[in-house]
Structure 1
């Protein structure tokens, strides 16, 4: 009799593994008791004449399409991604507009919250299928998880007069990668109910450049209404690239490839795909979007400082040793501090007083971290408060027990991700230091906050449930949730966290951003 029940369950799951979408029928996989659909095309391949164009609709297919293999990632440096981006991204192709779905139930009694992950990597590396981003553990907690690939590097962000001339006035597109993410959100709006998801409760979350994407889409008129809340992990405060500056870079790239000054759009599109990713500074891209096109008409920071972002709840925070990634941005914290000391001794003395640090290497590391990463959550939280929308601010400061000698300054950029996804059981760290029982228990607590935000947060929320009750950020109280505290695996509420130094940096940023 037991065999009959097992066979009946297998037959039921086989039926449920076949999902009809607006574009055609898909067949997925089972991962224990979860449904997984891999490599689903959410837009047409942006190749040939579609390179550097807005993503186009997928052509519907006949029959059943297997969704059992990861889709290709955009062209990138594989070694760099393995070393710093989270693992091996797999096959490369310009044909890279694919997404993946984990769902606990394709026929739930009530539609499930949807969490859409945007991977980081400075907009030049990464993929949605990397080990730290596997959505199994989050989906097991009752949400639908979506990860996706998008155009990277010069395919994702590019401006050139020959390309821009193809658009009507006011309709130029330079942020192709952001438009890919908008296309994925549109696909989700069309199709996610078939996977058990609630199209009216979509959380967009990402880390590093993925987090910058969340903030940029909060400012894009083309993304309004496509998602309902956002989680911003370790976004950096570098300003967006103005469109004119991006055009100059485009001209330099064309000249580098020995193309004529009057190069046509067709000639640009004929360049081999694998010739772009090896480009280095000054021909490489900054790890930020381009401001001034139809996707991002105004710089993201300007929009938030003016309170013009979309009216949705946000969670935002950063890690305690974000300076670990500054080499990627070409920033030497100690050199920056030495320059400050030689040019402005008053500012240098003020920093020493604010931080109470007398070692220039440590002081430079802390100052660079806070200017590049820690101040942005405060700016966003303040902006949310000003427009009457809730924000929750966090500070991640937990290092796995067996690797604390490797991370003496705190949590590195990106090291919170396996805690958020609760993937410590399946994710092997590059250091080959095993995760402890305490680490895994803490990961469960962290991911529970992310799930609570996806499930509960609304414009009327006053708190999030978790290990400790997490109140929304208010200007007078200025409460930050510390996830990890002096090595302990616990969540602690901190009032007026780093208030003095961050107020100073916020004023400095305001002086550089013209509203």
Structure 2
């Protein structure tokens, strides 16, 4: 069968037929686990059952319940239909291939409450054209993905609260078992994600259940908010049950709550944008694992954007108010911070930069130090490119999530960027995507990634970062000891000062 327009592939569960998009084969809506519905809500995912005949894989499957309006505004596009039956993935693979290709598995962001693997910015076609196999994953969101209640304890051999992380682990195991049939190399899997997807990558690097199921990791704009302790998660679960009139609820009563009843809940009953620490997936909080350098030892790329504070309003954080709070309660600390931000005027601007660095930039520094302690490679970046027509809109640099269409090289295909990008923007996006693919292909074999600027890994004694975009303009520049004084301070204090309380 030579390059059919409806490509057929045989997985361990059965035969799939996809479609061909120019020179890329695509399969959408592939089940990687059984539907987590009915009595299987809030349980570990089970392997997908085999099917008879040829199963069509030509349309994206439903995503987990969420706000469609919010996802279209902030999450990357229309997430389509919703269902509790949402454990599906999508695959892009080149039509022509002569050897097994590196695999890149994408975990979408959205604060663990929004998003889907099939959103337009995540189209894997342009990356797959660079001779990789791309996989995007749907996983359980909100309370369906992260939940604790005393009535659920004891149902499985181990305590489970992070069902969404178990979904991701199940998807990676499916990839390991099946991706060779799609042309991928099961021994070269790169896990990458942004925001909550990046927090997921860090969580799996910290999880004892995820060792050996991926071989490299890319962490885009992960935040330093602490994981929710199990005790607090249990209390929230009981409060949520009481909200639905279920005091001393049984597991059956909880599972009878309609699946679409959870996502509209507001604070304090909504889900925190962080996993739960204290179950079998995360016995220890992720930050504690990295501070102790007990993460899985694989090559890592990590970085963040120049205006990550753009997302703070979504979390309800008043940037100027954070500085005023310091002025009232920690004047010495505020004085020290001002020394680290010379020339920054006004509480709003100082708050923007401090919150950005404490909540986002410092995460890359923490990961780099942990990687150095275990002798594993780490490439750090700082994304600061803005499309030429949008400099007046993005005054302070690249917003949270702005790097995604550059990473996927989808800038010219998605709204609204396709209406204003020019050839310079598209050329820069292609160069960014090349770096990501080079990492997936070569990070284990070399210490220097090829590109417009050769990008060295941070080994022990080397603290170097690649600026991807310089003052919003095109360019790649290496910088030693990037924000080192700020990072050293914030690493010490962030566990005490980064929270949503």
TM bucket by the smaller chain? Answer: over 0.9
Q: Which residue of 2 aligns with 1:201?
A: 188
Distance in 2 between the 1:120 and 1:182 partners?
Answer: 16
Distance in 1 between the 2:341 and 2:459 partners?
Answer: 24
Q: Which residue of 51, 56, 72 maps to 1:66?
A: 56
- Does 1:175 find its partner at 2:165? no
Distance in 2 between the 1:499 and 1:206 partners?
Answer: 25
Deviations 1:212-264 (A, max 9, x none): 00000001111111000000000000010011110000000000000132x21
Q: Which residue of 1 aligns with 2:466?
A: 481
Map 1:237-256 to 2 at 5 A.
Answer: 237-256=224-243
Secondary structure at the residue paired with 2:376?
coil
Q: Which residue of 78, 95, 112 maps to 1:123?
A: 112
Q: Which residue of 67, 76, 79 maps to 1:77?
A: 67
Secondary structure at the residue paired with 2:315?
coil
Q: Is contact 2:293-2:373 (8 Å) kept? A: yes
Map 1:125-274 to 2 at 5 A.
Answer: 125-168=114-157, 171-261=158-248, 263-274=249-260
Secondary structure at the residue paired with 1:12?
coil
Q: Which residue of 1 aligns with 2:25?
A: 35
Q: Is contact 2:226-2:495 (8 Å) kept? A: no
Q: Is contact 2:375-2:460 (8 Å) kept? A: no
Q: Is contact 2:397-2:471 (8 Å) kept? A: no
Distance in 2 between the 1:386 and 1:490 partners?
Answer: 31
Q: Which residue of 2 aligns with 1:383?
A: 370
Secondary structure at the residue paired with 1:397?
strand
1:62, distance to aligned residue in structure 2 (A):
0.5
Distance in 2 between the 1:200 and 1:123 partners?
Answer: 28
Aligned length: 497
Secondary structure at the residue paired with 2:468?
strand
* TM-score (norm. length: structure 1): 0.94
Deviations 1:161-212 (A, max 9, x none): 00113233xx111000000000001110111000000000000000000000
Q: Is contact 1:28-1:36 (8 Å) kept? A: yes
* TM-score (norm. length: structure 2): 0.97
Q: Which residue of 1 aligns with 2:9?
A: 19
Q: Is contact 2:97-2:131 (8 Å) kept? A: no
Q: Is contact 1:203-1:227 (8 Å) kept? A: yes
Q: Which residue of 2 aligns with 1:114?
A: 103
Distance in 1 between the 2:150 and 2:314 partners?
Answer: 29
Secondary structure at the residue paired with 1:230?
strand
- Does 1:413 find its partner at 2:405? no
Secondary structure at the residue paired with 2:164?
helix
1:370, distance to aligned residue in structure 2 (A):
0.4
- Does 1:351 find its partner at 2:337? yes
The 3 A distance-change label for structure 1 pair 196 and 31 is same
Distance in 2 between the 1:172 and 1:361 partners?
Answer: 43
Secondary structure at the residue paired with 1:327?
helix
Distance in 2 between the 1:223 and 1:347 partners?
Answer: 39
1:512, distance to aligned residue in structure 2 (A):
7.5
Q: Is contact 2:5-2:20 (8 Å) kept? A: no
Q: Is contact 2:299-2:376 (8 Å) kept? A: yes
1:110, distance to aligned residue in structure 2 (A):
1.4
Secondary structure at the residue paired with 1:22?
coil
Q: Which residue of 1 aligns with 2:428?
A: 442
Q: Which residue of 287, 291, 296 maps to 2:277?
A: 291
Distance in 2 between the 1:327 and 1:14 partners?
Answer: 49
Q: Which residue of 2 aligns with 1:312?
A: 298
Distance in 2 between the 1:252 and 1:184 partners?
Answer: 31
Distance in 1 between the 2:262 and 2:433 partners?
Answer: 37
Q: Which residue of 2 aligns with 1:4?
A: none
Distance in 2 between the 1:25 and 1:319 partners?
Answer: 42
Secondary structure at the residue paired with 2:314?
coil
Q: Is contact 1:323-1:369 (8 Å) kept? A: yes
Distance in 2 between the 1:109 and 1:392 partners?
Answer: 29
Distance in 1 between the 2:48 and 2:493 partners?
Answer: 46
Deviations 1:6-55 (A, max 9, x none): xxxxx722287011100000000000111000000000110001100111
Q: Which residue of 2 aligns with 1:374?
A: 361
1:59, distance to aligned residue in structure 2 (A):
1.4
Distance in 1 between the 2:88 and 2:41 partners?
Answer: 16
Bigger mean CA offset, 27-36 vs 487-496 = 487-496
Distance in 2 between the 1:377 and 1:36 partners?
Answer: 33
